[in-house]
Amino acid sequence: MSKVVAVTGGIGSGKTEVCKYFSILGVPVVDLDQISHEMSAPDSAAMQAVRAAFGDEMFEADGRLNRARLRELVFSEPDALDQLNQIMHPAIRAEAMHRIEQHSAHPYVVLAIPLLVESRDDWQSVDHVLVIDCDEHTQLTRVIQRSQLSEVMAQAMIAAQSSREERLSIADSVIVNDQTLDHLQEKVLEFHKNFSKTCQ
């Protein structure tokens, strides 16, 4: 069985770029956000449960999930976020474990998981936690620029996640992403070389 490296970090920390580079290095990446998107197909069991919980107004006329509307709801009402997580997380976790098992020939697999602090007890199979870190001002600026959100919405999304301190408290390794993309890739390569040795 491959070792599992969980890559986590707050929104805007740079997890996506880190995981892209792991893929370039030949490391399989299982991305929970990607799985979540795939499970948002109109006819999926997960979306039927979301519709039952939150109503038809969260969906477009063609049956597609209105992500913006649902995002506004769950980041303004904590109970709604908890309810959504209870619907989505078990199904996403089961699919992630299935995909990890398909890569058993590799020394290790990266599991891209934004909310690891909030769900650590559900991921006992994780062997190593790699936190991608940046200061909160940098995080806020990136979220606003990337997603074209208002500062209020960006702050609400950041506040809904675990704190920087909580993420760092569960880290086995940390990559600080506060410089250039080249610098970030150098740090990922360094981690890859060192961790690969532990898998031999």
**In the 3-class helix/strand/coil scheme, how is the chain assigned residue by residue?**
CCEEEEEECCCCCCHHHHHHHHHHCCCCEEEHHHHHHHCCCCCCHHHHHHHHHHCHHHECCCCCECHHHHHHHHCCCHHHHHHHHHHHHHHHHHHHHHHHHCCCCCCEEEEECCCCHHHHHHCCCCCEEEEEECCHHHHHHHHHHHHCCCHHHHHHHHHHCCCHHHHHHCCCEEEECCCCHHHHHHHHHHHHHHHHHHCC
87 and 143 share a domain? no
Task: Find where tokens 């936190």 sit.
Answer: 131
Say what the pLDDT of residue 191 is.
97
Q: What is the CA radius of gyration of the chain?
A: 17
Residue 180, domain extent: 1-28+103-200
131 and 176 share a domain? yes
Q: What backbone torsions phi and psi does residue 129 show, to the nearest 5 degrees?
A: -110, 120
94 and 135 share a domain? no
pLDDT confidence of 158, banded at 50, 70, 90?
confident
47 and 86 share a domain? yes
pLDDT tens by residue, 22-70: 999 999 999 998 998 888 888 888 899 999 999 999 999 898 999 889 9
pLDDT tens by residue, 79-135: 998 899 889 888 899 899 999 999 999 999 999 998 888 887 788 889 999 999 998
Say what the pLDDT of residue 44 is.
85
pLDDT tens by residue, 170-184: 999 999 999 999 999
Say what the pLDDT of residue 81 is.
87
pLDDT confidence of 161, banded at 50, 70, 90?
confident
CB-based contacts of 48: which residues, under 8 Å, 6+ apart?
none
Count other Cβ atoms within 10 Å, centred on residue 164.
18
Domains contained in the chain, number: 2
Contact 114, 155 (CB under 8 A): no
22 and 116 share a domain? yes
Sign of the C-alpha dihedral, residues 107, 111, 112, 115?
negative
Of 79, 60, 80, give the one whose Cα is nearest residue 68.
Answer: 60
142 and 98 share a domain? no
40 and 95 share a domain? yes
d(CA 16, CA 155): 20
Domain boundary among 78, 102, 126: 102
24 and 44 share a domain? no
pLDDT confidence of 159, banded at 50, 70, 90?
confident
